[in-house]
């Protein structure tokens, strides 16, 4: 999939300077990021509606339109596909690490509530072994 998106990204870059009268991509660049964002949002909504309606073929078609409009917005924002792949790899590696750790160690240390702290203060007395009061 990334190859297809990368080829599309290069085609979008190449189309940016074509005649807006004949190239939709050039027209989107001419109209600017707000129009690109509007089209991207429209496509996202179309994908959602078709998915909710169970129209698989339409989801496929609208997803291709969504990815096209996303690629145009990337180009306009100076984002390259490899920038996105790098972030996705970072998350995969981070989550992958999380999957290897026992769930218990993933819990953040709880801050003792005042009642707990009051119940079991740990007193470190200089020069003596720290004692726990119960």
The 30-59 site mask, x for binding ligand PRT (CB under 6 A), equals ---------x--x-----------------
Q: Which of residues 64-123 bind ligand PRT (CB under 6 A)?
A: 64-65, 68
H or E segment and range at residue 36? helix 33-52
11 belongs to the binding site for ligand PRT (CB under 6 A): yes
Answer for which of 9, 25, 29, 70 binds ligand PRT (CB under 6 A) is 25
Query: Contact at 8 Å (CB) between 80 and 74?
Result: yes
Please give the backbone phi and psi of residue 20, each rounded to the nearest 5 degrees, phi first.
-60, -20
Q: Please report the DSSP string for 55-81 in residue order.
A: -HHHHHHHHHHHHHHHHHHHHHHT--H
Residues that bind ligand PRT (CB under 6 A): 8, 11-12, 15, 18, 23-25, 39, 42, 64-65, 68
């Amino acid at each position: 999939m990334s190859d297809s998106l990368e080829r599309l990204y290069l085609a979008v870059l190449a189309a940016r300077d074509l005649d807006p009268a004949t190239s939709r991509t050039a027209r989107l660049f001419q109209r600017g990021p707000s129009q690109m964002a509007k089209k991207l949002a429209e496509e996202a909504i179309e994908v959602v509606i078709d998915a909710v309606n169970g129209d698989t073929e339409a989801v496929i078609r609208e997803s291709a339109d969504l990815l096209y409009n996303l690629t145009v917005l990337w180009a306009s924002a100076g984002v390259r596909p490899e920038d996105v792949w790098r972030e996705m790899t970072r998350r995969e590696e981070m989550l992958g690490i999380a999957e290897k750790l026992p769930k218990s160690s993933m819990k953040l240390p709880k801050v003792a509530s005042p009642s707990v702290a009051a119940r079991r203060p740990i007193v470190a007395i200089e020069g003596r072994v720290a004692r726990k009061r119960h």
